[in-house]
Chains A and B, each alone.
Chain A
Amino acid sequence: MDENKHCEESQACRSKCCCNPLPFLLGIAVALAFGWWVFPGMVFSQKEQPIFFTHKTHVETAGLSCDTCHTFAADGSFNGLPRLDACNSCHAGLDSLQTPEPNSSETRRAREAEVNFIKNYVMTGQEVPWIVHQKQPDNVFFSHAAHYKRCFSCHLTMKGNLNLGTPENPQRLCQTCHPSLEELDKNLPVSVNVLTGYSKTTMKMATCEHCHAHPGHFYNDGKGRAFANNACFTCHR
């Protein structure tokens, strides 16, 4: 008796719910909105670089190339960010400003940024605490020397879509992993994962595997074909 009654009740309940899909649709919409817009903001916090810097000005107006500032050390390790000495050579002091006379809001901003930079860093001799977009996690060993020598030896001279630049201009090969910034006329905001502390644009393991686990690189055929070892200890430490 009781069981029958229970069944009837639940059936009634089910039919009632099915006739009214609005709560479900509303729930889905709320969940999607939360997942799409609200949750990422909770996971990532935005950080700003300590000074206003544009790659575009330095590449286009000043005519610098990437390796003017981002240099390789004698031992093959990548120096990454330029030290103050590299900036000093042009931005020497307040009496020799590089930015044009301010006549618009844009040029005023540039002039202001340069004056601030010289006052706060050049004159005090303090290094700029740049925030690095692509700092690798603690457990990763990445050698620029290994990739610079090995990848460059083929991919700068190969034909077709395997070609990633020329020996004179290897930018595209760098940009396989690094974001292209030479067109950017403002700071790229840094999104930091609040749980891990890593930047959102840090290279993920999938990017490494794109080459290391690629069939063309995975097997050592012993005939000198490019071999990117995919053992764990190749990159992990």
Chain B
Amino acid sequence: MSAVKEFNVKWGMAIDLDKCTGCGACMVACQAENNLAPVPDASNKLRVMNWLVVYELSNGKAFPEHDVAYLPRPCQQCAKQPCATVCPVIATERNEEGGIVSQIYPRCIGCRYCMAACPYNARYFNWHDPVWPGGLDKVLTPDVSARPRGVVEKCTFCHHRYMKAKDTLRANGEPIMVTGRDGHRHSNIPEDGYVTSCAEACPNGAIVFGDLNNPEHRVYQLTHKNPNAFRLLERLGTDTAVYYLSSREWVRRQGDNYLAHEKTGHPEAVLFPGHHESPNDPAKK
């Protein structure tokens, strides 16, 4: 695998699955913000467009012990992207401060290798040209481009909001990057200056967005040294930027394909010894 680009800023999310009620406000906010047109047949789940999907998890037990959880799934913004390595035209890459995986629609040739490679099914192919019925085109977000038929698209952590936030800094004559109290370089954008649409829309505050490298951001505090934090398919080594939080063991178990005898927890300690200080590594307990 190609070398991983390290950035000072790593935009990421912490999604609290114990707070998520599965209401779907994040999905609606995402569709509206990112100009996703309604598809002709939304019952065909192979051809719907949802940059963010809320999955329902079940512990599979009968009534008294039955429990469900809801898991919103945006693009996981992997540091080691399976998608970018297979793209034949470099239409997707992770090359900018912030570590957001880009998707360049005019460059995409629609071969869908990336969709096959993505372990999270976070990528979507435009089967149809977008049609906005009933004057919906009047309320499109001007900062998000419309995608034509035949290209792949995905969640970009509302990258246009990042651009706007940086522009605000420039206009005020402030630097983009500053040295934080911990001596490291951090983005000068205030924590609430750049928030994704889904995080903004969540009525329970289950989605927290911020810089995973900045100790002053809530997302850092929620994900570091938290035994309830896990990432999806963590043992693939994709190093995603979306963390999930749950106090329920069965929910954490569904984050990866654990065998019956395996325990959940951070796998880095096993895969890369000494690379990652893991608070809930079962081997250390």
Q: Which residues of A contact B (CB under 8 A)?
A: 74-77, 137-139, 141, 143, 145-146, 149-150, 229, 231-234, 236-237
Contacts and interface: CB of A to CB of B under 8 A. Distances in A.
Interface in B87-123: 90-91, 93, 95-97, 100, 102, 104-107
Given A229-B96, A231-B96, A237-B160, A146 B167 contact: yes
Contact of B93 (A138, A150, A229, A231): A231
B170 A149 contact: yes
A105 B102 CA distance: 57
Interface residues of B, number: 26
B163 A75 contact: no
Contact of A139 (B145, B156, B168): B145
A233 B145 CA distance: 13
A149 B145 contact: no
A232 B104 contact: yes
B174 to A, nearest CB: 10
26 contacts: A75-B171, A76-B170, A77-B171, A137-B106, A137-B145, A138-B145, A138-B146, A139-B104, A139-B105, A139-B106, A143-B167, A145-B167, A145-B170, A146-B170, A149-B170, A229-B96, A229-B97, A232-B95, A232-B102, A233-B102, A233-B104, A234-B96, A236-B102, A237-B143, A237-B145, A237-B160
Instruction: Report, nearest first, the 9 A-B pairs whose CB atoms are least far apart.
Output: A76-B171, A231-B95, A231-B96, A233-B102, A139-B145, A75-B171, A138-B145, A145-B170, A232-B102
Given A143-B167, A231-B95, 17 more contacts: A74-B171, A75-B171, A76-B167, A77-B167, A137-B106, A138-B145, A139-B145, A141-B143, A145-B170, A146-B166, A229-B97, A232-B104, A233-B156, A236-B104, A236-B106, A237-B160, A237-B163
A134 to B, nearest CB: 17
Given A141-B160, A145-B167, A146-B167, A237 B173 contact: no
Given A75-B171, A141-B143, A232 B160 contact: no
Nearest to B168: A75
Contacts of B104: 139, 232-233, 236
Contacts of A143: 163, 167, 170
Contacts of B145: 137-139, 237
A141 B90 CA distance: 19
Nearest to A141: B163
B252 interface: no
B266 interface: no
A232 B159 CA distance: 12
A29 B146 CA distance: 42
A146 to B, nearest CB: 6
A237 B144 contact: yes
A231 B105 contact: no
Nearest to A230: B95
Contacts of B143: 141, 237
Contact of B171 (A141, A145, A232): A145
Nearest to A222: B185
Interface in B132-158: 143-146, 156
Nearest to B142: A138
B170 A232 contact: no
A149 to B, nearest CB: 5
Contacts of B96: 229, 231, 233-234
Contacts of A149: 170, 173
A29 B233 CA distance: 64
B234 to A, nearest CB: 26
